[in-house]
Structure 1
């Protein structure tokens, strides 16, 4: 049942997650630095130093969710394009379906 040809690369998804986690950590550090004027006030925050990671099952699930999301977006945009008499999906078609798609997911 699993078809890896149509799925997103797990390494790519993990790399994207790591970039987002790194940015959030930097943002969090900036906010904490602004809140605390003395470094000794935040001495017990060991959670900051732990790296964030995802296990393989979470990555597989994330890849499948992304695949379903993109597939649904393309199908909805194609329906709009066909209704307008076009044979090609354009950015305007995606713009029209995105609000409802995001609400559905």
Structure 2
């Protein structure tokens, strides 16, 4: 059976976007120390780029797929209990706290 997961390249692109955004926020919120200015390029934590290896991306893709599948199943159960045939945002809102605690 071929399991469907998210494309690891997509997950990497999402992670990279978040890492870039957080790096920019840190730059805005922190002033450069005199010590950091003396250290060579890319030797401080601020100067290094964040990356992920292929196995980590594959695992993240599978975990996100499981998480979303579980969210859909739980929301569908709530919708069905209410007599509905479609999942609405309120159904997801109701299952989200417990889902986050379970994961």
**TM-score if structure 1 supplies the norm length?**
0.85
CA-to-partner distance for each residue in 1:71-94, whole Å, 9 max, x for gaps? 000000010011111111111111
* RMSD (Å) for aligned C-alpha atoms: 1.6
Q: 1:46 to 1:2 in 2, by over 3 A?
A: farther
What CA distance in whole angstroms lies between the structure 2 residues aligned with 1:40 and 1:74? 51
What CA distance in whole angstroms lies between the structure 2 residues aligned with 1:96 and 1:9? 28
Match of 1:53 among 51, 54, 60: 51
> After the TM superposition, which segments of 4 or more aligned residues of structure 1 sit over 6 Å from their partners?
none
What CA distance in whole angstroms lies between the structure 2 residues aligned with 1:20 and 1:2? 30
* Contact 2:36/2:44, CA 8 A, preserved across alignment: no
Gaps of 5+ in 1: none
CA-to-partner distance for each residue in 1:47-79, whole Å, 9 max, x for gaps? 222111100000001001100100000000010
What does 1:1-105 align with in structure 2 at a 5 Å threshold?
A: 3=3, 6-33=4-31, 36=32, 40-43=34-37, 44=39, 46-105=44-103
**TM-score if structure 2 supplies the norm length?**
0.86
Secondary structure of the 1:47 match is coil
Aligned residues: 99
